């Protein structure tokens, strides 16, 4: 190896070390006012970040579309981890369409469907804001990865699904724009057409889901062609059509998979972004993981959560 190449490699490694040792700064922006609700986003980035455009990791919080907040302490480690690795991390507000509503079911699904569409519309609005201000915010407009927990995971999966199927709501996004990746912590897609199909291929997707999840189904909850299709069902479609994905199927664990991967699987998430988004690997990977020491709480159901 030449002296010049060794010098460049050393400089790169030192820059990475300096970036990860740096502090994370946060700034807030008003990105929309929808139905009289002011919607803000927080951008987290390293205070040592260069002025070169950064990939953008958007996060949508969980809470059943009835509660939650973008800056909950639970998510801080996730935000800081990627901010220190050169990302602009944007955590967004959205309208809570299930606030005050009863538990969804086969005969009472419209409030949930409407809440999902509201959240997707707000995610699109945040995306448009970030695209329009990409230059001043030093964001790379071709590298938007959307991620979410629980209701937020449903939102990001639904948003990419609706974009790839030219849904009316997706017209809010610029036509050439596509999300570069999707990360779902215990999510699904609401469909009235059966197992979701894509007119154009979805973004590379990282799924986490617990097999014992009773709040957001691991498989499917609904009646006939109407219902929520969970990660295992979506992966069936991805595998059938050869869409790139990684699926962490967490055995005998419930809805807590919507949270703890953001603490315990950070290197795995980073690896997905590097290999599947940046390097565009065309892999289909299923990982079944069983933690013999983890005791799961499977008591949460839609009926107990909303009533």
| pTM summary value | 0.92
pLDDT of residue 298: 73
Decide if 65 contacts 305 (C-beta within 8 A): no
pLDDT tens digits for range 115-160: 999 999 999 999 999 999 999 999 999 999 999 999 999 999 999 9
H-helix or E-strand spanning residue 141: strand 139-149
Q: Which residues pair with 249 in a beta bridge?
A: 209, 288
Q: What is the DSSP string of 7-76?
A: HHHHHHHHHHHHHHHS-EEEEEEEEEEETTEEEEEEEEEETT--SS-EEEEEEE--STTTS--TT-GGGH
Measure Cα distances from 30 to 26, 34, 69, 119 in Å.
Answer: 14, 11, 15, 16
Average pLDDT over residues 166-184: 96
Q: Whole-angstrom Cα distance, residue 92 to residue 122?
A: 9
Per-residue pLDDT reduced to its tens digit, 72-115: 999 999 999 999 999 999 999 999 999 999 988 887 899 999 99
**What are the start-end ranges of the H helices in the chain?**
3-21, 76-83, 110-132, 134-137, 151-164, 231-241, 261-264, 266-272, 302-306
Kindly indicate the confidence band of residue 47, based on its pLDDT and cuts at 50, 70 and 90. Answer: confident
CATH number of 24-306: 3.40.50.1820
What secondary structure letter does DSSP report for 110? H
Q: Domain map of the chain by residue range?
A: 24-306
The Cα–Cα gap between 274 and 55 comes to 11
Q: Is the pLDDT of residue 5 over 70?
A: no
If phi over 0 gives left and psi between -120 and 50 gives alpha, with beta otherwise, what is residue 291?
beta
- Helix (H) or strand (E) segment spanning residue 229: strand 226-230
185 and 153 in contact (C-beta within 8 Å)?
yes
pLDDT of residue 307: 75
- Residue-level pLDDT at 6: 54
- Look at the block and give the residue holding tokens 């107990």: 304
89 DSSP β-pair partners = 44, 57
| Strand pairing class (245-250; 205-210) | parallel
Q: How far apart are CA 301 and CA 171, in angstroms?
A: 34
């Amino acid at each position: 190896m030449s002296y010049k190449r060794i010098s460049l490699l050393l400089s790169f490694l030192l820059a990475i070390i300096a970036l990860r040792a740096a502090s994370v700064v946060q700034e807030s922006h008003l990105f929309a006012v929808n139905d009289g609700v002011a919607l803000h986003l927080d951008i987290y980035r390293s205070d040592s970040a260069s002025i070169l455009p950064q990939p953008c990791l958007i996060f949508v919080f969980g809470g059943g579309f009835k509660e939650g907040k973008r800056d909950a302490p639970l998510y801080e480690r996730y935000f800081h981890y990627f901010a220190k690795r050169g990302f602009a991390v944007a955590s967004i507000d959205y309208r809570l369409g299930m606030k005050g509503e009863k538990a969804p079911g086969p005969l009472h699904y419209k409030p949930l469907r409407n809440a999902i569409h509201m959240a997707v519309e707000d995610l699109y609005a945040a995306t448009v804001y970030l695209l329009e201000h990409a230059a001043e915010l030093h964001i790379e407009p071709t590298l938007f990865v959307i991620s979410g927990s629980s209701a937020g995971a449903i939102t990001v999966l639904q948003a990419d699904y609706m974009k790839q199927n030219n849904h009316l709501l997706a017209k809010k996004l610029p036509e050439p724009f596509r999300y570069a990746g999707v990360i779902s912590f215990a999510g699904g897609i609401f469909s009235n057409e059966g197992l979701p199909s894509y007119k154009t291929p979805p973004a590379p997707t990282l799924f986490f889901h617990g097999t014992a999840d009773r709040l957001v189904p691991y498989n499917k909850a609904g009646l006939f062609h109407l219902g929520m299709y969970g990660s295992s069902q979506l992966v069936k479609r991805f595998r059938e059509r050869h869409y790139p994905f990684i699926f962490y199927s967490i055995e005998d664990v419930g809805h807590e998979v919507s949270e703890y991967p953001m603490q315990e699987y950070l290197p795995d998430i980073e690896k997905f972004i590097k290999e599947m988004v940046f390097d565009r690997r065309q892999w289909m990977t299923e990982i079944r993981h069983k933690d013999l020491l983890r005791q799961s709480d499977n008591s949460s159901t839609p009926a107990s959560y909303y009533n």
